[in-house]
Amino acid sequence: MTGPSRGHRNGGPTRAYRASYGREGLRIVRLANFVTPTSGGLRTALDRLGRGYRAAGHEPVLIVPGATAADEPADQGRVVTLPGPELPGTGGYRVLADRRGIADLLDRLAPDRIEVSDRTTLRWTGEWARRARVPSVMVSHETADGVLRTWGVPAALAVRAADRLNRRTAWAYGRIVCTTAWAEEEFVRVGARNVVRAPLGVDLERCRPGRRDPAVRARYAEGAGVLLVLCSRLSVEKRPGTALDALARLRDAGVPARLVVAGDGPLRPGLERRARARGLPVRFLGHVADREALADLQAAADLCLAPGPAETFGLSALEALACGTPAVVSASSALPEVVGAAGAAAADTPAAFADAARGLLALPEAGRRAAARARAEHFSWDRSVAAFLRAHEAATARGPAGAPAALPAAVADPPRPQEVGG
């Protein structure tokens, strides 16, 4: 399954070995938990980064958990699935739990770099990388204290626990990659000096304002004057209930709004019961596997709601912007940094989200949609891939390795969106 065994020398395989297999680039082995066929942002990011690494001449290998073992080629590179237990109450998420089996696989793969997308159960891979003299990167896809708070842990206790975890994480890996300045803050707070920033991106060809189709809008709106969309996993940390409650507030205020929810998760049955009990016009689509259909929905909407308070980037909101649809986002998250002036940041209450939505809807439609698209154009996947490869000190498609992983000014220091509530 894993190909011929090979050893490391001076921190990586020799050029002679790479040449013998027709490979001059780096073998970048990526490990990720909490990835399923119905995953959202993380699955998209892994796919697009893998494709970019391949285009730059590298050999990405992704290791993920699943129900059964598999080893398959894909557009993002080789994908190795190892059996992993399902976590109860998570809607199908699995973890890579067989430490010995994973370590043996890493030994056989003999990577030039490793990239890890889980700071908890996979943190031991940083120690493996040090012993093997392999440069390592951990990608922070969530804030530890933010996730703990969404699960009901008191704020002070959440910060203390997160600080302990983040000190260990920063020590375990050569570099920590954060996608926003907001995500960096928890590592800066503990004095980590190995943090670099690399934004994620959006498919600007697939997600475009030209997809806005009156027929699609009519199908989803069903006569409502305002179409809202929530594209999210329906789990506690995403706070999807805020979107339903904000819809109720809007309708109480006379706004003829309807909500379409694209996503699935453990909270879905309860949310469906809540919508029925309150007579709210909400349509639950479940997971939308067809990315073209999802982009059509995002373009058809008037506003996107993104209430997750622990989001470190928010790919679905960025996709909505690229389609010309402004977003109302949690002021507690990284999303105000991402959406800039093309959206509205709201306190984590239904009333604040409803007020922010009314504020955006009061703006001229053409102007607010143009601003949304203009903001999204700062975030291409080419730029993202280049930043991640610089974090790996790997060659990019456009130049040599070692260039500083700085963000463009428009992304590093964006205008803040209007903020509602407090």
Tell me which residue has tokens 């679905």.
316
User: Tokens representing 312?
Assistant: 């470190």
pLDDT single digits (tens) 323-366:
999 999 999 999 999 999 999 999 999 999 999 999 999 999 99
Interior/surface letters 109-121, b for 16+ CB within 10 angstroms, e for the rest:
bbbbbbbbbbbee
Burial label, 159 (beta-carbon count in 10 A; 0-12, 13-18, 19+) = middle
Antiparallel, parallel or unpaired: β 59-66 and 27-31: parallel
- pLDDT of the residue at 3: 37
State the maximum Cα–Cα separation within the chain, in Å, rounded to a whole number: 71
**Residue ranges of the chain with pLDDT lower than 70?**
1-23, 38, 397-422
- pLDDT of the residue at 121: 87
pTM metric for this prediction: 0.86
- pLDDT of the residue at 5: 36
Q: What does the chain come to in residues?
A: 422
- pLDDT of the residue at 209: 98
- pLDDT of the residue at 337: 96
Contact yes or no for 271/240 (Cβ under 8 A): yes
User: Tokens representing 90?
Assistant: 């998570």
Contact yes or no for 166/126 (Cβ under 8 A): no
- pLDDT of the residue at 389: 97
